[in-house]
Amino acid sequence: MQKRKLGKSGLEVSAIGLGCMGMSSGFGPPSDRAEMINVIRKAVETGYTFFDTAEVYGAHHNEILVGEALEPFKGQVVIATKFGFKPDGEWNGPWMQLDSSPAHIRTVVETSLKNLRVEAIDLLYQHRVDPNTPIEDTAGAVRNLIKEGKVKHFGLSEASADTIARAHAVQPVTALQSEYSLWFRDLEKEILPLLEKLDIGLVPFAPLGKGFLTGTVTSDTKFVDGDFRNHSPRFAADMRAANQALADLIVDFAQAKGVTPSQIALGWLLHQKPWTVPIPGTRNAARLAENAVGSGVVLSAEELADLRAAVERIPTVGERYPAEFKKMSGR
């Protein structure tokens, strides 16, 4: 697995990271604990050094899982976690209240340190921007935690360009985590130029379109109870049917290239900017190897141009989130 650095921070990670959320929440009931520990440790053997979790994934379940799995690899891996919600249940339960007040951040960090079994959090993201707390106060709180040695790097998630710039002026932002893929490219107009200007890394979540870009999800697919896609407008059966042309395009492109659709989707992202590190999630050890190969997919300038032109001719149908959660993004 190749390595990349997130912006000017010097934080070096594997070119592809592992999103661990689905092991605990979001895609149905939590998976078998021992099996997921094996998957995470297999990821380390495969070359992954970047692992993503959050306090709210399964109400701390995921942090505890990741902490146990990665404890033998202290100093060899980078773990990112997040604050920003005041959880009242599972991720796929009632929508949660936002809270990025300095006092709450400190409480969350103390719990996350215990859950992850570490002395310092490698990368701490604000999960969603809290409109009731000035971003300067939030960034200042993280700056203090960095000075105390409890946090190493500061990140934001799904934040607007203005918020990123204001936060960065208080405490340098190492990385922005936001959705970015061949299926969702809204970041390209304002966010990517700003990240390049400020030398901030980008960590795209849902780089495989939450499974849609793998070619395995169709309008006939049935999601299990507890899978957030049951409530996502973009994953309604009629929306999937309307978007099928994009998935088919990537499948055809991959077949012509002799790779998998997932590898094309990941390879495309890695070719966009050298400071981009996607974090596909999986609960399957076989997918770890498949996704890792995506870090080495080479796309020529002509192939990149052809792929972009093709996907831009296909309009995306459906919102990413229900209204309750959509309003939390892009603040």
214-245 burial, b at 16+ Cβ within 10 Å, e below that, comes to: bbebeeeeebeebbbbeebebbbeebbebbbe
Q: Residue 323: what pLDDT?
A: 74
Work out the number of other CB atoms within 10 angstroms of the CB of residue 330: 15
Q: Is 34 exposed, middle or buried (0-12, 13-18, 19+ CB in 10 A)?
A: exposed
Q: Residue 88: what pLDDT?
A: 59
Of 57, 125, 180, 321, the active-site residue reads 57
Residue reference for tokens 């689905």? 22
Compute the distance between CA of residue 252 and CA of residue 127 in angstroms, rounded to an integer. Answer: 35
Q: Are 133 and 103 in contact (CB under 8 A)?
A: no
Domain locations along the chain = 3-326
- Enter the pTM of the model: 0.94
HEC string of 15-70? CCCEECHHHCCCECCCCCHHHHHHHHHHHHHHCCCEEECCCCCCCCHHHHHHHHHH
Question: In this predicted model, what pLDDT tens digit does every residue of 232-259 receive, in sequence order?
Answer: 999 999 999 999 999 999 999 999 999 9
Work out the number of other CB atoms within 10 angstroms of the CB of residue 315: 9
Question: In this predicted model, what pLDDT tens digit does every residue of 181-228 receive, in sequence order?
Answer: 999 999 999 999 999 999 999 999 999 999 999 989 988 999 999 898
Retrieve residue 187's tokens.
Answer: 């970041």
Handedness of CA 44, 47, 50, 53 (dihedral sign): negative
Compute the distance between CA of residue 288 and CA of residue 293 in angstroms, rounded to an integer. Answer: 9
Compute the distance between CA of residue 274 and CA of residue 14 in angstroms, rounded to an integer. Answer: 12
Of 65, 317, 284, nearest in space to 184 by CA: 317
More confident residue, 1 or 142: 142
Work out the number of other CB atoms within 10 angstroms of the CB of residue 323: 9
What is the DSSP annotation of 95-162? PPEE---HHHHHHHHHHHHHHHT-SSEEEEEESS--TTS-HHHHHHHHHHHHHTTSEEEEEEES--HH
Retrieve residue 190's tokens.
Answer: 């304002």
Helix, strand, or coil (residue 173): strand
Of 215, 177, 200, nearest in space to 84 by CA: 177
Residue 125 is among the residues annotated as catalytic for this protein: no
The confidence band for 91, taking pLDDT boundaries of 50, 70 and 90, is very low
32-42 average pLDDT score = 96
Q: Are 112 and 82 in contact (CB under 8 A)?
A: no
Characterise 21 by phi-psi region: left (phi > 0), alpha (psi -120 to 50), beta (else): alpha
Length of the chain: 331
Task: Tell me the CATH number of domain 3-326, given options 3.40.30.10, 3.40.630.10, 3.20.20.100, 1.10.3720.10.
Answer: 3.20.20.100
Please, what is the end-to-end C-alpha distance for the chain in angstroms? 34
Q: Residue 87: what pLDDT?
A: 63
Residue 95 clears pLDDT 70, i.e. is over it: no
